[in-house]
Amino acid sequence: MLRHFRMLADYNRWANVQIYETAAQLSDAEFHEDRGAFFGSLHGTLNHLLVTDQLWMHRFNGTGETPAALGVVLHDDLAELRSAREAEDRHIMDWIETLDDAALAADVTYTSVLRPGAITHPLHLAVAHMFNHHTHHRGQCHMILTSMGKPSLVLDLLHFLRGEGQRWMST
């Protein structure tokens, strides 16, 4: 399971690069335009992903920021947002490297931004959720970009594994 999460952290970083490279081709108005996604614009969606990663990493290891709401705008500027995203992806990858099977099996307890009260479950379930959450919202980013007439991004995990992620193909 640990190797799988390391691979997902690397894939997550790679997929974020694809989204941000395409976002850099947009005008500022296009980047901020409400396109009907859950967080409105590409800007809102990418901010949300950074917010939630900061929340999860704080829950996991007690470090980093703890935004008060899921829709907080951490960075209005794409370049600043991209720099923060790259730093957070490194933070996630570095943290995953510190884990072992016992840590993944141990419980994590936290309080949700959305619901009062403690929530407890094995760490591995929360880590899986964090990566799945990214896939969900990157799909929205893809929808936003294609609705603007941008070429369709190939974000498939297997595409990553056949290219930059080949090191994860061996056992």
Q: How far does the chain reach from its first CA to its final CA, in angstroms?
A: 12
Tell which residue, 162, 165, 136, 131, has the closest CA to residue 9.
Answer: 131
> 133 labelled as ligand-binding?
yes
SS3 154: coil
Contact 119, 110 (CB under 8 A): yes
Q: Could you please report the per-residue DSSP string of 93-145?
A: HHHHHH--HHHHHSEEEEE-SSS-SEEEEEHHHHHHHHHHHHHHHHHHHHHHH
- Whether the CB-CB separation of 168 and 7 falls below 8 Å is answered with yes
Q: Tell me if 48 is assigned to a ligand binding site.
A: yes
Binding-site residues, in ranges, read 48, 133, 137
Binding-site residues for a divalent metal cation, in ranges, read 48, 133, 137
